[in-house]
Amino acid sequence: MSDHSNPLRIALAGLGTVGVGVIQLIEANREIITRRAGRAIEIVAVTARERSKDRGVDLTPYRWMDDMTAMAGAADVDAVVELIGGSDGPALTLARESLDSGKCFVTANKAMIAHHGMELAALAEAKGLALKYEAAVAGGIPVIKGLREGAAANRIERVYGILNGTCNYILSAMEKDGRDFADVLKDAQEKGFAEADPAFDIDGVDAAHKLAILAAISFGTQLDFDAVEIGGIRKIMAADIAQAKALGYRIRLLGLAEVDGSNGDASLFQRVHPYLVRTSHPLAHVTGPTNAVVAEGNFSGRLLFQGAGAGDKPTASSVVADLVDIARGETGPAFAMPGHMLDKLPPAKSGHRIGKTYLRMLVADKPGVLAEITAAMRDAGLSIESLIQQEASDDGSALIAMVTHAGQEKAITHTLAALSGSDSMLGEPMVMHILGE
């Protein structure tokens, strides 16, 4: 470990959007960072794939190290910052080697933490080192610190929010301009907040990485990414956005987690899915790449964390905040309590969950179709709160969108199973849950 009267010396692996942001931030705010940290934070070594690439920052003050293993073992490095990405591969090797070599470790890599966070936390804990990942969840929002420190005295009942800036950008642009999905996605990629593989964003995987991390910190449970139920936004049509609006809702990709005790033993519910959110709810007004996380504490009440969920500067802000913590000597457990105290909960089943649901179906425009749908719903014990049928298209199809009264989720499954063989149904129905207040 480093001597706290000397600068905290860091090695930076990854010089892309976030890596360059970190260099710029440390340069721009050097004086205030030093005063807050109690000592300077100095970059001593850097690495990326391509040494000769122009990154718009001067790298000559720093030692270039092609060999990341050497970076992890360098005697003049106190903390390693990983901004490469990827759940495995070089990022994971660097994490293991850095902690093994006695270096504190900071990362923005939610994929790696979601998959390997328990192992890395155990490594860090065994050596009394810091493993920090504020930037991994919701970019520039200090939500990890908020939950880990500010809300540490609470039992968190539920945590949910908008965890992917790319999806929120796409959904709010579709909502505002009626633009189509592919066009808006291209925009998000150009702006630098989409993942290297944007399928991670639009299919909900990136939000699921973040949700699994939030759940572990919120509930004192072991990270269980594999148990997150995941859905994305690919199948959302402009018509869904319009119908949701007409029914008093906006569509947001949400991650939602809670400990479910309704069936006797506690289990962990984690879901990422597009939800309909009442226009009166604060999350309905979160637009663009902004993220927002709601945590409901049993003493604090509802907490809302909101801000930029991605981008060079906001994400760098979180990375450097972690470095300030390390410079101050803060090396507490990565998941807010020692690893052996984290509960291991089984994944919750969702069939008994009660809520309202949005259903959109493309159907053949012929007599009796609505009766067929409502009969399937009646048999499943599901009742309709509101329903819209759009005028038939030239191809003879009609779009039906409805919101059900609150019912068990398994009633939706039964309804769709009953309708699945029907030749009235054209294409796959779209199911979206409605966020309960």
Ligand X SMILES: NC(=O)C1=CN([C@@H]2O[C@H](COP(=O)(O)OP(=O)(O)OC[C@H]3O[C@@H](n4cnc5c(N)ncnc54)[C@H](OP(=O)(O)O)[C@@H]3O)[C@@H](O)[C@H]2O)C=CC1
3-state secondary structure 37-93: HCCCEEEEEEECCCCCCCCCCCCCCCEECCCHHHHHHCCCCCEEEECCCCCCHHHHH
Burial degree of 284 (CB within 10 A; 0-12, 13-18, 19+): middle
Binding flag, residue 82, ligand HSE (CB under 6 A):
no
Residues 4-43 that bind ligand X (CB under 6 A): 14-19
Q: Name residue 17's amino acid.
A: T
Residues 71-110 that bind ligand X (CB under 6 A): 83-85, 90, 108-110
Binding flag, residue 97, ligand HSE (CB under 6 A):
no
Binding flag, residue 160, ligand HSE (CB under 6 A):
no
19 vs 231, beta carbon nearer ligand X: 19
Binding flag, residue 53, ligand X (CB under 6 A):
yes
Question: Given candidates 47, 164, 318, 415, which one binds ligand HSE under the rule CB under 6 A?
Answer: 164
**Residues 145/133, Cβ–Cβ less than 8 Å:** no
Q: Is 410 a catalytic residue?
A: no
Give residue number: closest CB to ligand X: 16
Binding flag, residue 194, ligand HSE (CB under 6 A):
yes
Give the C-alpha separation, 13 to 433, whole Å.
40
- From 210, 313, 366, 410, the catalytic residue: 210
Residues 348-387 that bind ligand X (CB under 6 A): none
Give the C-alpha separation, 344 to 61, whole Å.
47
Residue 4 binding partner per list ligand X, ligand HSE, none, with a CB distance cut-off of 5 to 8 Å that depends on partner kind: none
84 vs 171, beta carbon nearer ligand X: 84
Strands 407-408 and 354-355, bridge-based pairing: antiparallel
The dihedral formed by the CA atoms of 65, 331, 99 and 136, expressed in degrees to the nearest 10 = -70
Binding flag, residue 166, ligand HSE (CB under 6 A):
yes
Give the C-alpha separation, 357 to 413, whole Å.
11
Residue 83 binding partner per list ligand HSE, ligand X, none, with a CB distance cut-off of 5 to 8 Å that depends on partner kind: ligand X
Residue 194 binding partner per list ligand X, ligand HSE, none, with a CB distance cut-off of 5 to 8 Å that depends on partner kind: ligand HSE
Binding flag, residue 17, ligand HSE (CB under 6 A):
no
The answer to whether the Cα torsion of 305, 306, 307, 309 is positive or negative is positive
Give the C-alpha separation, 34 to 123, whole Å.
29
CB of 69: closest distance to ligand X in angstroms? 11
Which residue numbers are catalytic? 210
Binding site for ligand X (CB under 6 A): 14-19, 47-50, 53, 83-85, 90, 108-110, 135, 139, 192-193, 195-196, 310-311, 315
